[in-house]
Amino acid sequence: MATTPRIRTVALLGAAGSGKTTLTEALLHRAGVLTRVGRVEDGSTVTDHEPEEIARGQSLALGVAPFTWTTPHGEFDVTLLDAPGSADFAGAMDAAVAAADLALVVVSAVDGVQAGTHAAWRAAQGLPRIVVVTKEDKSRADFRHVLADLRTAFGDGLVPLELPLGEESAFTGVADVLTEEGLTYDADGHHHQEPLTGSMLDEEHRLHDEVTEEIVTHDDAQLERYLSGDVPTPDEQLTTLAQEVAAREAFPVLVVSGVTGVGVDRLADLLCDLGPDASDRSVVIGSRTVPVKPDPAGPTLVHCFRTLADPFVGQVTLFRVLSGTVRPGDRLVNTSTHTDERVPGLFRLRGKEHLPLDSVPAGHIGAVAKLTGTPSGSVLADRTGPGASATIPRHHREPVFGLSLEPVSQSDDDRLSAALTRLTAEDPTLSIERSGDRTVLRGLGDLHLAVALDRLARVFGVHVRTSPVPVGYRETIRRAVETEGKVKKQSGGHGQYAVVQLRVSPLPLGSGFEFVDAVVGGAIPRTYVQAVHKGVAEAMASGGPHGYPVVDLRVEVYDGKSHSVDSSEMAFRTAAASGVREALVSGGTTVLEPISRVAVTVPMTAQGDVMSDLSARRGHISATTSLDDGTVLIEASVPEAELARYVLDLRSLTGGRGQLSMEPDRFEVCPDHLVPA
């Protein structure tokens, strides 16, 4: 492994279909790791190796692809973290960003800036970024149009370092903006220099002057030289640009074809020359945020940024060593769960391949199997070290799409809970809810849950049927009534006898349940009043005339009768439940529907459509706020019954750029014509 200053950990981010996985293949091939380039269409790529990915032809999980690359400055250890572009798998993108020192934002020369590009840029705000325009060899590729769209979307900090020589099928090389040289590629992805001519020379020269001025303005010494007519050399400009990249002041733009290999070696060179070294990381200890230097000799501190369920070796944990050096046999403690973990054999992942390691020093990415007490996002540390209580804040994504699960067989039922627990440990953007005998799995979208259930069957052997999540309606009584509940059962031996007199009335919405003991004179012995309370609660839980649990009820027991021999707790529980059920029928009930607080962030151009759609869903808009990035935050209260597939409809309305969060808020009266039959 390289020493710490020559580590490059790069998160590949971008829209689904932008070419990240194909670019990863091209880099691995150009580095000599692969003898032939795999194809997404054939299911033969290194990072898309899961059956679910091969079947769907897209990345669904975080892929890892390390390689070494040699530049004139030495050998570098590069690890690519290929993140899915679909919004349903944004948790994997968050994991890649948390582990990386540099984001490579991949943009298709055909499709340009998409919703996934905006999501990638937003996710990588805290990282230095390089933009690479891919698919320049494809029909309808237009680098200059994409560059203009990038600048419109993300500002003037974008610094194009290359221009394409030809486009579409004529894309054969790149013009180096700093050296003003043409680099033409052969079929093996190697380039040779050629002079630029004609209009390309004029365009490149104009861009060279523009980029040079942009770079030198960030370095006083270079700016002074430039103004006096002494233009800094390309190497000097690259050094200054690397500092600007690290400071997130400049974002170089490159152009490649992952299929033909044009520009791929240049991309690898510039990832090493412009990318930052392994950086300090911040952890939280108590209430303080503390920087951690990547010192291989320091106290051990490890960030386990992603876990994967492997059908052969069990749980595989991907980790980055923030400080110290991890070796097989080390004993570390999970700083959140306080679980002791013994580190077995270490390895690197390259796709599904395990590459054994003797140790993993600070700044590097490693993997380990069978850390069963360490879910995604955990921190491991020396038990007595300064980081023994350290945690790393992570971006929380609210699950916004759910399905109700029903095990197919008793065997599936027995194993469902454990399997779901492992799935959620692997992917924190999944969550489980249990209500009675119903299990609900929630995630970021329909594809997210479909893949999770495929893995549930393939990896854990658990099969389920799915259905929409039932809306949690409730009922309350319409008007106050008095009622009597009685049990009289005498058959010659020990019988059952109880009579309770109840006043049942509605409470304000959200008040819950109030039980009042107003019995005087011992009509109901004190030992049985609590049984009356239990009977009332059981009747409310079992549901009213519409079948929904009853809430916001005041029940006053004011009289009754008992028998010295035949009365019992069970008799009074049964009598009380009977009395409540009779009261609900005679007093009538109102169905209450759950209301959720919804926060939607959308482009300003979609504001009107989204607000109209929310209103059509019986939503009440409470606030709209214009944000600095050109988006609008819309806050509303919407009935839960209208939100089952809202995240999918929102993506359609906003071209995939809408962001959604929801949380339960309150109950309101459901209009009679909308009460489910």
Confidence of residue 263 (pLDDT cuts 50, 70, 90): very high
Q: Which tokens in the block code for residue 556?
A: 């006053």
Superfamily of domain 282-381: Translation factors (2.40.30.10)
For the chain, the domains span 4-274, 282-381, 402-467, 474-587, 592-674
Q: Which tokens in the block code for residue 59?
A: 């990345």
347: pLDDT strictly greater than 70: yes
Q: Alpha helices, DSSP H only, in 486-620? A: 526-542, 569-587, 607-616
The mean pLDDT value of the chain amounts to: 93
Query: What fold is seen in the domain 592-674?
Result: Alpha-Beta Plaits (3.30.70)
Q: Which tokens in the block code for residue 307?
A: 């876990």
Q: Which tokens in the block code for residue 158?
A: 């974008």
Average pLDDT over residues 631-637: 96
Confidence of residue 491 (pLDDT cuts 50, 70, 90): low
533: pLDDT strictly greater than 60: yes
Same fold, 282-381 and 402-467: no
Please state which CATH class domain 4-274 belongs to.
alpha beta
What is the pTM assigned to this prediction?
A: 0.90
Instruction: Determine which of 21-35, 311-325, 498-512 has the lowest per-residue pLDDT on average.
Output: 311-325
Average pLDDT over residues 498-508: 96
Confidence of residue 492 (pLDDT cuts 50, 70, 90): low
Residue 332, judged by CB atoms within 10 A of its CB (0-12, 13-18, 19+), counts as buried
Pick 31 or 394 by higher pLDDT: 31
What dotted CATH number matches 474-587?
3.30.230.10
- pLDDT for the residue 147: 97
Share of the chain above pLDDT 70, in %: 99
2: pLDDT strictly greater than 80: no
471: pLDDT strictly greater than 70: yes
- pLDDT for the residue 629: 84
Average pLDDT over residues 341-355: 94
Helix (H) or strand (E) holding 499: strand 496-506
367 contacts 319 by C-beta, under 8 angstroms: yes
Tens digits of residue pLDDT in 270-308: 999 999 988 888 888 877 888 899 999 999 999 999 998
Task: Scan for tokens 């590629």, then name that residue.
Answer: 185
CATH 3.30.70.870 at 402-467, yes or no = yes
Average pLDDT over residues 418-432: 93
Cβ-Cβ contacts under 8 Å for 580 (sequence gap 6 or more)? 483, 485, 502, 504, 535, 536, 539, 540, 550, 555
Tens digits of residue pLDDT in 129-158: 999 999 999 999 999 999 999 999 998 899
Task: Scan for tokens 């394409």, then name that residue.
Answer: 164
Confidence of residue 5 (pLDDT cuts 50, 70, 90): low
Question: What does the angle CA 223 – CA 229 – CA 235 come to, to the nearest 5 degrees?
Answer: 60
- pLDDT for the residue 380: 94
- pLDDT for the residue 280: 84
- pLDDT for the residue 552: 96
DSSP for 215-239, written as a single string:
HHTT-HHHHHHHHTT-PPPHHHHHH
Query: Helix, strand, or coil here: 393?
Result: coil
DSSP for 409-457, written as a single string:
SHHHHHHHHHHHHHHHHH-TT-EEEEETTEEEEEESSHHHHHHHHHHHH
Average pLDDT over residues 559-588: 93
Tens digits of residue pLDDT in 183-238: 999 988 899 999 988 889 999 999 999 999 989 888 888 888 888 888 888 999 99
